Amino acid sequence: MRTVAVVGASLAGLSAARSLRKQGYDGRLVVVGDELHRPYDRPPLSKEFLAGTLGEADLALETDDEELGVEWLLGARATGLDRTERAVRLADGRALRADGIVIATGAAARGLPGSEGLAGVHTLRTLDDARALRDELAAGGRLVVIGGGFIGAEVASTAYALGLDVTVVEVASTPLAGPLGETMGAVVSGLHTDHGVRLLCGVGVKGLGGERKVDAVLLEDGRSLPADIVVVGVGARPCVEWLEGSGVALDNGVKCGADGRTSLAGVVAVGDCANWYDPRAGAHRRVEHWTGALERPAAAVATLLAGGAVEPGTPRPPYFWSDQYGVRIQFAGHAAGADSVTVEQGAVDDRDVLAVYRRAGQPVAVLGMNQPRLFTRWRKQLATA
């Protein structure tokens, strides 16, 4: 293998490049990124960066002395993958021939249809998004967050700390019920009301008010919430349009085996765009977690370099964290399918909790709020179960 192209220059792409070098690949290595920035860390964008306590230099993922021997093609968007030419086509007309290809194009924030071109309306996914939102939050005012998921909740928490008047609107009856289940979803989203942030659940958004600049969020029940700033946090979609017609099988992102292999030889996928087979769950899962983007490229790269002749290890259970209102929230495993949730330590009213999810008596997931030591023990137990 003489040239490997990594398409995507965020955490998963950087991890793939590092894994390639660590696993002995010494050929040409090109990383293609559609943003102009070198790889940066996204979790602080909704928290410390937005709050102004971390700057852009702090977000860099590469270390100062890191020598990966990478050719960076930044500001270059991939528009197609040609299986016969074995080439990645770029928006500027160039084609990048490669023997091995790592797909790491991530996911893009979903917007609110009809909000395009309306000032004061934001999504939060990229550094540029965060810069724009940070500047606007600094002016203060009334913020309405559409979507009570983790991004929405973190933005609400950060904006609350900055002194804004904050309302969160969630279409489901309980925020976070998808990842955490109804019971613990209610406990974690209770952090909003603990701090005087309004949480409106079970109501959809009909549209936005305002001419050139947003001035209200219009709800389906007829209410109108005055707003100076709106953040739309309603999830993300995998960036895989560029692969249509390439022969790479797509199904909620790039469909992959447990080792990251795609339907095309010499092509693997990692990160938020990849729908990996999870042997624990017996199903494909597209997991938009930072830790997955960090850890899984090692397996995908091993597959790529071995020509598909490696036995994939069992990945650790999915893990993610969130910081909201000064509370550290940690979760590992799969809540779906659990038939019980038990608080093992702490009290839900104190938002100091270690909760274990079980199915037929076996732990399948664990949630911690300000319980890092105990959480780590349970997470370890889940991994070896």
Partner 1 sequence: MMIPACRLADLPRGEATRLDIDPPVSVFHTDEGELFAIDDTCTHQDASLADGWLEGCEVECPLHASKFDLRTGAVDAPPAKLPVRTHEVAVEDGMIYVRLSTDAPNLPPCVAARLAGGPA
| Shortest Å distance, C-beta 295 to partner 1 | 7
For residues 209 and 46, what is the distance between their CA atoms, to the nearest angstrom?
Answer: 25
For residues 338 and 361, the answer to whether their CB atoms sit within 8 Å is no
Instruction: Choose the binding region for partner 1 from 134-142, 241-249, 276-284, 286-294 (rule: CB under 8 A).
Output: 286-294
Tokens of 80: 């197609």
| Shortest Å distance, C-beta 120 to partner 1 | 30
| Shortest Å distance, C-beta 370 to partner 1 | 11
89 or 316: CB nearest partner 1: 316
The binding track of 46-75 with respect to partner 1, each residue x by CB under 8 A or -, is: -------xx---x-xx-xx-----------
Interacting residue with partner 1 among 79, 306, 380, 381 (CB under 8 A): 380
| Shortest Å distance, C-beta 191 to partner 1 | 18
For residues 89 and 122, what is the distance between their CA atoms, to the nearest angstrom?
Answer: 30
| Shortest Å distance, C-beta 248 to partner 1 | 28
| Shortest Å distance, C-beta 321 to partner 1 | 6
Residue 260 CB-density burial (10 A; 0-12 exposed, 13-18 middle, 19+ buried): buried
| Shortest Å distance, C-beta 43 to partner 1 | 8
For residues 242 and 8, what is the distance between their CA atoms, to the nearest angstrom?
Answer: 12
Interacting residue with partner 1 among 52, 372, 381, 385 (CB under 8 A): 372
- What is the pairing mode between strands 362-369 and 327-333? antiparallel
| Shortest Å distance, C-beta 54 to partner 1 | 7
The binding track of 255-274 with respect to partner 1, each residue x by CB under 8 A or -, is: --------------------
Written as one string, the DSSP assignment of 305-340 is HTTS--PPPPPPPPEEEEEETTEEEEEEE--TT--E
Is residue 294 near partner 1 by the rule CB under 8 A? Answer: yes
Instruction: Choose the binding region for partner 1 from 23-31, 185-193, 212-220, 371-379 (rule: CB under 8 A).
Output: 371-379
Give the C-alpha distances (Å, rounded to integers) separating 290 from 8, 76, 378.
15, 23, 20
For residues 258 and 131, what is the distance between their CA atoms, to the nearest angstrom?
Answer: 37
CA atoms within 13 A on the CB side of 43: 13
Interacting residue with partner 1 among 77, 195, 290, 343 (CB under 8 A): 290
Positions in 83-142 near partner 1 (CB under 8 A): none
For residues 379 and 332, the answer to whether their CB atoms sit within 8 Å is yes
CB atoms within 10 A of CB 147: 25
Positions in 310-349 near partner 1 (CB under 8 A): 321, 328, 330
3-state secondary structure of 291: helix
- Taking Cα atoms as reference points, which of 324, 288, 332 lies closest to residue 104? 288
62 or 129: CB nearest partner 1: 62
Binding site for partner 1 (CB under 8 A): 11, 15, 18, 41, 43, 53-54, 58, 60-61, 63-64, 290-291, 294-295, 321, 328, 330, 372-373, 375-376, 379-380
